[in-house]
Amino acid sequence: MEQPVIFNRIPVLDLGKEVEELKPQILSALTEVLDKGAFIMGENVTRFEEEAASYLGVRHAVALNSGTDALVLALLAVGVGPGDEVIVPPFTFFATAEAVSQVGATPVFADVNAHDFNINIASIEEHISARTKAIIPVHLFGQPADLDDLRRLADAHQLLIIEDTAQAFGAEYKGQKVSGLGDIGTLSFFPSKNLGTYGDGGMLVTNRADYADKVRKLRAHGSTKKYFNEMVGYNSRLDEMQAAILRVKLPYVTGWNEARRRVADVYQQQLKGISGLLLPQENKDTMHVYHQFTLRVQEGRRDELKTALDQKGISTVIYYPLPVHKLPVYAHLNLVLPVSEQLSSEVLSLPMGPYLDNEVQEYVCESIIEALR
């Protein structure tokens, strides 16, 4: 099939249509911020915290500058530091482990499941030691991890659960939104996330008032009252402009997640039964929000498929080409985590997003089928 002439290169995520649709509302929200002249910790930040907490069904939300700082401040809030170990998956974005190292603790890598890319319970159990303080499950690609099993294990060993929900805003586990189901949840509003802003942003959510209070202080130089610093903190605030944008976008996220699920359904139907291709499965009792639609391409054909699609103008991404324990910064640990390593050699994320055009998607599917023939 020829590439239809209406197409430029097909990106993995196209924010253009969303920007076009929301531009009038966003410009008016930003104009209001300019007119008010309050750029840091203004009304939009407070209101966005309330609106996000209500959406996620969690008591406290603290807006921050990034998902990475949300992880760092979460660890500080629960008192994790030097000498402590935190169990993380190696098949994730670097920040999950980086935050643990950043606070002086040791990231301990537990392998993941091949079927849902999420942290494996048995592997966590093998890696628990007397120094383990917390587990950071990542709801990878928008698929919730098995929080009931995690809770049972965490309770048995008195460990905390920090849900890295950067990729799963709005996803559900047993009918409840993830992020508020562990002890702390962290969110990222990086532009490409399911709820993204047009810059950096993040959030920490929790049902514990003491954690929320501490993070409110940590994000603003250890103070909630100006020039009355009670501890050494950070500058990790979400700015008013980003909060204003996020308030415009929040009411759309449910519809966008539904649209992502429809796109995923089309991929499932069109790509089923192709030999050498494993499609993502949705776990029982969860609502996956398809931050990515990630295939496993077997028989060593992943790179060949990626190149073939590239030549047809279709962008794809490998999340993640190296598991975190194999990145230069942790490679000296010489760890072997076979499932994560295998997934890194097989995965390929396809164009995905709430505005992905049907015709474009059909072209992607036909191109995949043709390339693997």
Give the footprint of ligand PLP on this chain (CB under 6 A): 66-68, 92-93, 95-96, 138, 164, 166-167, 188, 190, 200, 202
Distance, in Å, from the CA atom of 155 to the CA atom of 137, rounded to the nearest integer, reads: 15
Kindly tell me which of 160 and 168 has the beta carbon lying closer to ligand PLP.
168
Kindly tell me which of 95 and 271 has the beta carbon lying closer to ligand PLP.
95
Distance, in Å, from the CA atom of 149 to the CA atom of 198, rounded to the nearest integer, reads: 36
- Position with the least CB separation from ligand PLP: 67
What's the min distance (Å) between Cβ of 63 and ligand PLP?
A: 12
Kindly tell me which of 95 and 110 has the beta carbon lying closer to ligand PLP.
95
What's the min distance (Å) between Cβ of 46 and ligand PLP?
A: 20
Pairing of the two strands 176-177 and 172-173:
antiparallel
Q: Which amino acid, 311?
A: Q
Angle, helix 95-102 to helix 67-77, in steps of 10 degrees: 40
Distance, in Å, from the CA atom of 213 to the CA atom of 224, rounded to the nearest integer, reads: 9
User: How many residues in total does the chain contain?
Assistant: 373
**CB contact at 8 A, 286 and 172:** yes
What's the min distance (Å) between Cβ of 136 and ligand PLP?
A: 9
Kindly tell me which of 200 and 360 has the beta carbon lying closer to ligand PLP.
200
Which position has the token pair 């002249």?
A: 37
Kindly tell me which of 153 and 324 has the beta carbon lying closer to ligand PLP.
324
What's the min distance (Å) between Cβ of 77 and ligand PLP?
A: 17
What's the min distance (Å) between Cβ of 89 and ligand PLP?
A: 9
Kindly tell me which of 117 and 190 has the beta carbon lying closer to ligand PLP.
190
What's the min distance (Å) between Cβ of 103 and ligand PLP?
A: 15
**CB contact at 8 A, 3 and 310:** no
Pairing of the two strands 202-206 and 277-278:
unpaired
